[in-house]
């Protein structure tokens, strides 16, 4: 069973594995109903599915059986997708803290306190955990100790999960700016001003930072300079974080379409039929693109043509991205149910 240790499978946001599921899941392996909503995406590491809930708990379930390994109770609701690195699992919490939990025992290793709720997923790179929060603070925390290395205050909410590259960290902000800051110091490398908030989490491919904005444009910015390589206009704002597979970037729009654009020049390869509104990040495997919709269905498209392959109706889902492996599909729904399907 492959690992899926962070949002969109890995820190490169390629969004998937080689799993090429051409047919809809048709059999329930297990399901667990939690007491509150799930606003985050599940992750998978060493045969364990980790998921957070608005009930303030981080859950660890055996991926094959659904049996609960452990739970950890945080101080407030959790809206952050967890991520794992170095034997720890990280998540942000509405109490303003970033938590680091031991993967095997579910015990608190450290807690980095903060002010506003942390809805972003903590991203780990070279021993540093990066996360932004709803009060506009972006911080870098030492992975081992939980001590804050640096912290910066910005004007808008930060709901965009960061992308950490070798030297720079990229993230969007409610003030409409897409930023690149130096990972060592937090100093600005460049800032791009979009026309409205950047809520989506950026991806990086072919030297371009890729992200959409509430201003309705999807941007490809040069990763080193921040200059606009290309931008593509959609019908409404873009909330959905992009996923990259091969030379193609995929995202959903509030206008209801899944878009597949060429990373090099932004040329549209395909656009799905409208599904009213889309805000979740898509999953982009080698040949399948999956998208969860507000109205409760998970839809799969052929990655090359956009032809609809299958759909599964499981109840309301918003921000969640499924995990797709050869063995199973793991789905979290907004009402708080985690499914493992075959």
Partner 1 sequence: MNRRTFVYNAALGTLGLAGFPLRAAGSGPRELKGLKIDVQAPDVPMSPLGMPGLFPGRVVEAFHSAALVNRRVSEEAVRAMIDAGMKALSGESNAKDAWAKLFVPGDVVALKVNPSGVPGTVTSIPVLREVIRALTSVGVPTRNMIVYDRNSNQLEVNGYHTLVPPGVRVVGLDQRWVVKGETRSGYDPNSFCEMDCFGERETRSYLASIVANEATKIVNLPCLKEHNASGVTGCLKNLAYGSFNNVNRTHTDPKTYTDPVIPVMCTAAPLRAKSVLHIMDGIRAVYHGGPFAWNPEFQWEAKTLLIGTDPVAVDRIELEIVEQKRKEVGVPSLWDRDPKNLGSSGEMQKTAFKNPFYREPGHIKTAAELGLGKWELDQIDRRRIKIE
Nearer to partner 1, 248 or 332 (CB): 332
* Interface with partner 1, residue 11, by CB under 8 A: no
Residues 128-167 within binding reach of partner 1 (CB under 8 A): 134-136, 156-157, 159
Stretch 179-198: interaction string toward partner 1, x if CB under 8 A: -----------------xx-
Among 19, 49, 77, 245, binds partner 1 (CB under 8 A): 77
Burial class (CB in 10 A: 0-12, 13-18, 19+), 184: middle
Listed ranges 16-24, 42-50, 162-170, 274-282: which one lies at the site for partner 1 (CB under 8 A): 274-282
> Based on C-alpha coordinates, what's the Rg of the chain?
18
Strand order in 128-132's β-sheet? 123-125, 128-132, 137-142, 148-153
Which residues 6+ apart lie within 8 Å of 84 measured at CB?
A: 5, 6, 43, 45, 50, 90, 103
199 binds partner 1, rule: CB under 8 A = yes
Residue 311: which of 11, 24, 17, 20 has the closest Cα? 24
Binding residues for partner 1, rule CB under 8 A, total 36
Q: Does residue 172 sit in helix, strand or coil?
A: strand
> Binding of partner 1 at residue 316 (CB under 8 A)?
yes
How far apart, in whole angstroms, are the C-alpha atoms of residue 4 and residue 340? Answer: 15
The minimum distance between CB 205 and partner 1, in angstroms, equals 24
**Minimum CB separation from partner 1 for residue 256, in Å?**
7
- Of the residues 251, 257, 330, 334, which one makes contact with partner 1 according to CB under 8 A: 334
Part in contact with partner 1 (CB under 8 A); list of ranges 3-11, 17-25, 42-50, 316-324: 316-324
Please identify, among the stretches 40-48, 81-89, 236-244, 260-268, the one whose residues bind partner 1 according to the rule CB under 8 A. Answer: 236-244
> Which two three-digit tokens encode residue 48?
């364990």
Q: Which residue number, 282 or 285, has a Cβ lying nearer to partner 1? A: 282
Nearer to partner 1, 272 or 277 (CB): 277
Q: Which stretch binds partner 1 (CB under 8 A): 44-52, 163-171, 272-280, 305-313?
A: 272-280
DSSP 83: E
Helices (H), 56-212: none
Indicate whether 235 belongs to the interface with partner 1 (CB under 8 A).
Answer: yes
* Angstrom distance (rounded) from CA 173 to CA 291: 24
**Residue matched to tokens 């909410």:** 157
Residue 246 touches partner 1, criterion: CB under 8 A? no
Q: Least separation, in Å, of the C-beta of 262 and partner 1?
A: 24
Task: Provide CB contacts within 8 A for 86, sequence distance 6+.
Answer: 124, 127, 143
Nearer to partner 1, 17 or 134 (CB): 134
Report helix, strand or coil for 118. coil
Residue 20 phi, psi dihedral angles, 5° rounding: -120, 70
Residues 283-302 touching partner 1, rule: CB under 8 A, are: 294
- Is the CB of 142 or the CB of 196 nearer to partner 1? 196
Cα-based torsion angle of the residue sequence 120, 311, 296, 210 in order, rounded to the nearest 10 degrees? 30
Q: Which residues, 6 or more positions from 173, have their beta carbon under 8 angstroms from its beta carbon?
A: 132, 136, 154, 155, 156, 157, 158, 160, 179, 197, 198
Pairwise CA distance, residues 77 & 38, whole Å: 10
Q: Catalog residues that contact partner 1 under the rule CB under 8 A.
A: 36-37, 39, 54, 76-77, 94, 116, 119, 134-136, 156-157, 159, 174, 196-197, 199, 214, 216, 235-237, 239, 254-256, 276-277, 279, 294, 316, 318-319, 334
């Amino acid at each position: 069973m492959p690992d899926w240790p962070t949002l969109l499978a890995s820190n490169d946001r390629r969004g998937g594995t080689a799993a090429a599921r051409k047919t809809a899941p048709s059999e329930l392996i297990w399901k667990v109903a939690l007491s509150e909503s799930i606003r985050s995406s599940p992750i998978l590491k060493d045969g364990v599915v980790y998921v957070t809930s608005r009930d303030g708990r981080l859950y660890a379930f055996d991926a094959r059986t659904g049996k609960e390994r452990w739970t950890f109770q945080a101080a407030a609701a959790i809206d952050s997708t967890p991520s794992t690195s170095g034997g720890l699992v990280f998540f942000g919490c509405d109490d303003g803290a970033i938590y680091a939990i031991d993967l095997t025992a579910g015990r608190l290793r450290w807690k980095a306190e903060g002010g506003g709720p942390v809805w972003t997923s903590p991203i780990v790179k070279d021993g540093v955990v990066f996360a932004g929060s709803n009060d506009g603070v972006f911080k870098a925390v030492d992975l081992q100790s939980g001590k804050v290395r640096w912290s910066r205050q910005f004007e808008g909410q930060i709901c965009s999960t960061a992308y950490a590259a070798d030297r720079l960290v990229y993230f969007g902000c409610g003030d409409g700016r897409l930023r690149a800051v130096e990972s060592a110091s937090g100093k600005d490398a460049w800032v791009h001003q979009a026309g409205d908030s950047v809520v989506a989490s950026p991806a990086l491919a072919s030297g371009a930072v890729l992200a959409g904005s509430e201003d309705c444009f999807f941007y490809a910015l040069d990763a080193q300079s921040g200059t606009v390589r290309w931008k593509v206009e959609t019908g409404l704002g873009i909330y959905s974080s992009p996923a990259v597979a091969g030379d193609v970037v995929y995202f959903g729009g509030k206008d209801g379409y899944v878009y597949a654009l060429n990373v090099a020049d932004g040329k549209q390869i395909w656009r799905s039929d409208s599904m009213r509104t889309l805000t979740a990040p898509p999953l982009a495997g080698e040949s399948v693109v999956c998208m969860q919709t507000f109205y409760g269905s998970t839809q799969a498209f052929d990655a090359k043509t956009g032809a609809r392959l299958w759909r599964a109706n499981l109840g309301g889902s918003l921000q969640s991205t499924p995990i797709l492996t050869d063995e199973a599909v793991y789905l979290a729904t907004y009402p708080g149910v985690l499914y493992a399907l075959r």
